[in-house]
Amino acid sequence: MPDGTPMRLRLPLRRRAGAPAAALAIAAAALLGACSDSGDGSSSGGDGPDNTIAAPTRPTVPDNLSDETGVYADRVVFGQSAALGGAAAELGLGMQLGILAAFEEANRAGGVNGRQLDLVSLDDKYEPEAAIANTRALIEEQEVFALIGAVGTPTSRSATPVAAAADVPYVAPFTGAGFLRNDDWTNIINLRASYAQETEEMVARLTTDLGIDRIGVLFQDDSFGRAGYFGALAALERRDMEPVAIGFYPRNTTAIKSALLDLRAGDPEAVIMVGAYGPVGTLISWARNTGFDPVFITLSFVGANALADQLGAEGEGVLVTQVVPFPFDQSIPIVASYQAALREVDPGAVPGFVSLEGYIAGRLAIAGLEECGNSVTRQCFLDAILGADDLDIDGFTMNFGDGDTITQDNQGSDAVFVTQIDPDGNYRSLDTLTRTEP
């Protein structure tokens, strides 16, 4: 479990000319005052610069659970608590679809060592309290073997202590939060690159490719938003820079007008956005309709397809970092496999980054089960994946363990890609950023 080191909050100590003092002061108050992250089940403020959180109280679990719970002669049962309704539903539904595509692909081929794969999904609407209740229900009532495809930082921060107390694997959450990468967790398997890696790539591209030195940050006012904010802040500090403007908004809302005013006051050339598709898209639309048009770049968690659909013609030029390959490029073996599997479960589904990540998550779980053979236990499953120095799933490589890798032990991939919405509302991958007028 995490070691309980208190989170240390830091804001920029120096303010460059043009940075709005009011916005910075308001952001500081929000960060300091929201340390409890109201409603997400922890007394810690979430991800700080040192990626630590206070150790939560260890929940109690029933005595009837064992290392082989959820494994039957003919099937293995996985559980998912994710946003299947509410403001972030497209993210949970995308992850669910991708996982099902991978599981059904294996089931059509006879299962994994003769066992079919089942997925039980519960809707938490991206709310921490519901994530706790769902996680308990999946572990104690549904008796699942492992949890997979959770969506979000605040929900994962609330659910992970419940899973850890029961020694249940927590596989491929759709979040790059630093606390999930703490070495003290023994049951968490991260598939994707971290938010710190995404924001580092953002700042590197903005400064190197575009020569931008005035960067603002928008973040969701919870542990997810602060994870991205601190990642962006660290990337800027490495270049002796600070955000010239800061805006924030409440989770599960589109209340972004105050954030927009704070950002405009700093006159940034680019804005790093840490949020879900609804509020991010709303802010971009309001900004462009009021003549505020910096370079907008946002994290993978935004939900790329949903963002492009929401923005329509106003999305041209918006940049999104991704942590999985381009889902339309069938020359990439993992993408070709994903598209074929997706057509089988939903012929009308549009390929996307979120469901591709869900598919890879499903394939990762399958790889762990295959390594265990007929004697599947949770410990064997965890050892099979976390002990893999090199794991290749149709060309998508992951590296766990203690080999020569820059990832931490429970994170498989460091890959970060940059994409941009084109004039037709489609995404294209970029090697170098160039200025685009909407």
Counted domains in the chain: 2
Give the mean model confidence (pLDDT) for residues 220-247: 95
Do residues 212 and 350 both lie within one domain?
no
- Check residue 41 and give its pLDDT: 33
C-alpha to C-alpha distance for 158 and 107, rounded to whole angstroms: 32
Banded model confidence at residue 179, pLDDT cuts 50, 70, 90: very high
Of 42-46, 79-83, 158-162, 252-256, the poorest mean pLDDT is in: 42-46
User: Is 16 within the bounds of a domain?
Assistant: no
* 6: three-class secondary structure by DSSP: coil
Helix (H, G, I), strand (E, B) or coil at 409: coil
pLDDT-derived band at 389 (thresholds 50, 70, 90) equals: confident
pLDDT of residue 56: 43
pLDDT of residue 20: 40
> Rounded to an integer, what distance in angstroms lies between the CA atom of residue 222 and that of residue 34?
7
| Domain assignment present for 129 | yes
pLDDT of residue 58: 47
144: left (phi over 0), alpha (psi -120 to 50) or beta: beta
Residue 304 sits in the same domain as residue 156: no
Q: Mark whether 345 and 394 lie in a shared domain.
A: yes
393-399, long-range: CB < 8 A, 24+ apart: 393/334, 393/360, 393/363, 393/364, 393/367, 394/333, 394/334, 394/336, 394/337, 394/363, 395/332, 395/333, 395/334, 396/324, 396/325, 396/334, 396/360, 398/191, 398/364
What is residue 53's predicted lDDT score, i.e. its pLDDT?
44
**Which pLDDT belongs to residue 402?**
58
Residue 399 is assigned to a structural domain of this protein: yes
Number of other CB atoms surrounding residue 426 within 10 Å: 12
Cβ(266)–Cβ(244) under 8 Å?
yes
Give the Cβ contact number of residue 56 at 10 Å.
20
Buried b (16+ CB within 10 A) or exposed e, 313-329: ebbbbbbbbbbbbbbbe
Is residue 7 scored above 70 in pLDDT? no
Do 334 and 189 belong to one domain? yes
Please state the pTM of the whole predicted model: 0.84
312 and 190 part of one domain: no
Give residue-wise pLDDT tens across range 91-119. 999 999 999 999 999 999 999 999 999 99
When the pLDDT of each residue in the chain is averaged and rounded to a whole number, the result is: 86
Considering the domain boundaries, does residue 343 fall inside one? Answer: yes
DSSP state for residue 142 in the 8-state scheme? S
Q: What is the pLDDT of residue 289?
A: 93
Closest CA to 243 of 9, 18, 47: 18
- Write the DSSP string, 339-378: HHHHHHH-TTPPP-HHHHHHHHHHHHHHHHHHHHTT---H
- Residue entry with tokens 């605040």: 154
Q: What is the pLDDT of residue 401?
A: 67
What does the pLDDT look like over 154-172, one tens digit per residue? 999 999 999 999 999 999 9
Note whether 190 and 208 are same-domain residues. no
CATH number for the domain harbouring residue 282: 3.40.50.2300
Q: Does residue 16 carry a pLDDT above 60?
A: no
The pair of three-digit structure tokens given for residue 7, joined into one six-digit string: 């989170």
Which tokens is 385 given? 């994946």
Distance in angstroms (rounded) separating the CA atoms of residues 271 and 297: 6
Structure tokens at 110: 């006879």
Q: Residue 312: how many CB atoms within 10 A of its CB?
A: 12
Same domain for 168 and 129? yes
User: Is the domain of 161 the same as that of 304?
Assistant: no
Question: CA 48 to CA 54: how far, in whole Å?
Answer: 11
Among the residue ranges 48-62, 156-170, 281-295, 407-421, the one predicted with the least confidence is: 48-62
| pLDDT band, residue 409 (cuts 50/70/90) | confident
In a domain, 87, yes or no: yes
Reduced to 3 states (helix: H, G, I; strand: E, B; else coil), residue 103 is: helix
- Which domain range does residue 99 map to? 75-194+330-415
Which pLDDT value is given to residue 63?
54
- C-alpha torsion angle, residues 98, 327, 351, 83 (rounded to 10): 50
70 assigned to some structural domain: no
| Confidence (pLDDT) at 390 | 87
**Are residue 120 and residue 226 in the same domain, yes or no?**
no
Residue 340 lies in a domain: yes
Relative to beta strand 417-421, strand 319-322 is antiparallel
Q: Are residues 311 and 423 in the same domain?
A: yes
Residues 305 and 316 in one domain: yes
Contact 342, 357 (CB under 8 A): no
Query: How far apart are the two ends of the chain, measured CA to CA in Å?
Result: 47
Question: Is 357 inside a domain boundary?
Answer: yes
- The Cα-based distances of 358 to 89, 173, 256, 411, 433 in angstroms read 14, 9, 29, 16, 28
| Residues 333-387 pLDDT 10s | 999 999 999 999 999 999 999 999 999 999 999 999 999 999 999 999 999 999 9
Q: Which residues contact 26 (CB under 8 A, 6 or more apart)?
A: 246, 262
In a shared domain, residues 297 and 424: yes
Tell me: the pLDDT tens digits for 17-69?
333 433 343 344 334 333 334 333 333 334 444 444 443 444 554 555 688 99
Beta-sheet pairing, 427-430 with 417-421? antiparallel
pLDDT in tens, 258-270: 999 999 999 999 9
